[in-house]
Amino acid sequence: MSTTNVTIRMDEQLKKQAEELFSDLGLTMTSALIAFTKQAVREQRIPFTLSRNIPNTETINALDEVENMKLNPEEYKGYDDVDEMMREILK
């Protein structure tokens, strides 16, 4: 089977992080990209889900709770002393 060269551009830090990861997995950047490409061709799709960074339900609930705390601070206990807060939390 003949081979061909493929040139890609990516952020230098991303490349370094990817090379470290692939090395830990026993792969080179080339072998990792070939594995990705073979899987994509085999499945006839990108072999992972592409999506926007949408928060999960737990995060959405936490954000809603913070908004409620801002709107209704009298309903929530506040602390002026970290040590007091920690003592109460660790009871």
**What is the spatial distance between Cα 34 and Cα 42, in angstroms, rounded to a whole number?**
12
**What is the spatial distance between Cα 43 and Cα 21, in angstroms, rounded to a whole number?**
24
Any domain includes 13: no
Residue-level pLDDT at 10: 97
Any domain includes 75: yes
Check: CB of residue 46 under 8 Å from CB of residue 40.
Answer: yes
Check: CB of residue 40 under 8 Å from CB of residue 47.
Answer: yes
Any domain includes 50: no
Residue-level pLDDT at 7: 95
Any domain includes 23: no
**Whole-structure pTM over 0.85, yes or no?**
no
pLDDT 10s digit of each residue in the chain, 91 long?
899 999 999 999 999 999 999 999 999 999 999 999 999 999 999 999 878 888 999 999 999 999 999 999 999 888 999 999 999 999 8
Any domain includes 2: no
Residue 36 CA to its chain's centroid (Å): 19
Number of structural domains found in the chain: 1
**What is the spatial distance between Cα 68 and Cα 76, in angstroms, rounded to a whole number?**
10
Domain that holds residue 73: 57-89
Any domain includes 85: yes
Any domain includes 17: no
